[in-house]
């Protein structure tokens, strides 16, 4: 995704907002924009890591304008696996009830996350600054596209029954139903690795009591199987 990664410090007492929403995910081909929901990729095996120029149409449904120098930060997922963060600093005002296309640049779709057939690309807006004040946002938009002739597939079947709770979490995050040796990693919204345990079976607890309020990502990996979950820390 976009490599405009910002250091995010999410503090207690944030105002929660629902005022910025992704309404479309677009891909660019030969200078024109097309809907990801209409995208069909055809590749012979083995499937490569594919870089696709992406853009997000973001609508400001807040009661206030976003002003020059305000910031929008989001994250991208492919089939529930975290791709990375996207961020923009506005150069012009984004008025309320208006929408704009934000260019993400070339986004790499890792081969291990791609499935043969239907795939789902999702974009979440996680925080904005509104008139210079940071607000946590929880909105999501997903678009499905198709891939054919893929043999390098990330199989998540042996991770689908894993239980991760509580969410939101205050102190200890519990992970159960680990039927295979699993590596567990916790990342910040900017992709910084904060905590990791390896080759866990049965159950595990991750101490998050020293984490600041905000959004984090828990990545589970067992062999080639990968699963990523969003976890909210609220004290």
Could you give the C-alpha distances from 39 to 26, 187, 227, in angstroms and in order? 9, 30, 24
Q: Residue 47, exposed/middle/buried by CB under 10 A (0-12, 13-18, 19+)?
A: buried
Query: Does residue 117 or residue 73 have the better pLDDT?
Result: 73
* pLDDT tens per residue, range 50-81: 778 999 999 998 888 999 999 999 999 999 89
In terms of residue numbers, what domain contains 181? 157-233
Whether 79 and 117 have beta carbons less than 8 Å apart is answered as: no
CATH assignment of the domain containing 44: 2.60.40.1820
- Other C-beta atoms within 10 Å of 177: how many? 13
Give yes or no: residues 130 and 163 share one domain.
Answer: no
Domain end point (choices 123, 148, 173): 148
Neighbouring-strand partners of residue 179 = none
Could you give the C-alpha distances from 170 to 113, 166, 208, 212, in angstroms and in order? 30, 8, 7, 10
Give yes or no: residues 167 and 63 share one domain.
Answer: no
| 3: confidence class by pLDDT, cuts 50, 70, 90 | very low
Query: Does residue 3 or residue 65 have the better pLDDT?
Result: 65
131, pLDDT greater than 50 = yes
**Measured between alpha carbons, how far is 208 from 195 in angstroms, rounded to an integer?**
9
Rg (CA), the chain: 18
Which among 28, 56, 64 is positioned nearest to 124, based on CA atoms? Answer: 56
Domain end point (choices 105, 124, 148): 148
Q: What is the pTM of this model?
A: 0.60
Domain end point (choices 148, 168, 200): 148
Whether 50 and 12 have beta carbons less than 8 Å apart is answered as: no
Give yes or no: residues 66 and 123 share one domain.
Answer: yes
């Amino acid at each position: 995704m976009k490599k405009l990664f910002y250091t995010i410090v999410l503090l207690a007492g944030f105002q929660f907002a629902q005022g910025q929403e992704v309404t479309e995910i677009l891909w660019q081909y030969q200078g024109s924009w097309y809907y990801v929901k209409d995208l069909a990729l055809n590749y012979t095996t083995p499937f490569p890591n594919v870089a696709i120029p992406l853009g997000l149409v973001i609508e400001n449904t807040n009661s206030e304008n976003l002003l020059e120098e305000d910031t929008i930060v989001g994250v991208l997922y492919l089939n529930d696996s975290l791709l990375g963060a996207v961020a923009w600093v506005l150069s012009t005002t984004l008025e309320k009830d208006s929408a704009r296309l934000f260019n993400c640049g070339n986004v790499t779709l890792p081969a291990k996350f791609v499935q043969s057939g239907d795939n789902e690309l999702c974009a979440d807006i996680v925080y904005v600054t509104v008139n210079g004040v940071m607000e946590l946002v929880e909105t999501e938009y997903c678009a499905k596209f198709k891939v054919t002739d893929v043999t390098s597939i990330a199989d998540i079947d042996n991770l689908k029954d894993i239980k991760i709770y509580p969410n939101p979490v205050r102190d200890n995050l519990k992970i159960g139903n680990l039927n295979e040796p699993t590596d567990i990693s916790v990342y910040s919204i900017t992709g910084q690795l904060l905590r990791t345990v390896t080759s866990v079976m049965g159950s595990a607890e991750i101490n998050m009591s020293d984490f600041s309020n905000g959004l984090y990502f828990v990545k589970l990996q067992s062999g080639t199987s990968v699963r990523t979950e969003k976890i909210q820390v609220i004290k």
